[in-house]
Structure 1
Amino acid sequence: MGKMLMIMGIILLVVGMVWHFIGRLPGDIVFKKGNTTFYFPIVTSIVISVILSVIFYVIGRFR
């Protein structure tokens, strides 16, 4: 259990650092009108989904 929590913590740390450096990718939707800003990170969501799918696939293969 402890080893799994450490691995999950490392994964969250890496995802946080990647999220910080990626920021807003081309293809993310941003609407600005007056004082209102709407940001929908569709490309960022797809990239994160693919990365997590690969990670969970690799973890599943070793179980």
Structure 2
Amino acid sequence: MAAGFFWLFLTRYWFHRDCIEAAASSCVMPDGTNLIAGGALWIVPSVVFALLAMLTLRRRR
């Protein structure tokens, strides 16, 4: 799940952060997709799930 949320973060914000910052709020891609600065929030569940996975692996050892 962490990898899935990380992929959403990359595709919805990180790769297009320059366009989002230049537009000051949102960026419309050529295919009509509207990217917003809120896409940066996808990193939060990614980090949470990654930490939970690491704790689970640590407990198993």
Shorter-normalised TM range: 0.3 to 0.5
- Larger strand proportion of the pair: 1
| Structure number with larger C-alpha Rg | 1
Larger relative contact order (Cα-Cα within 8 Å, sequence gap ≥ 6): 2
Using the size of structure 1 for normalisation, the TM-score is 0.41
Using the size of structure 2 for normalisation, the TM-score is 0.42
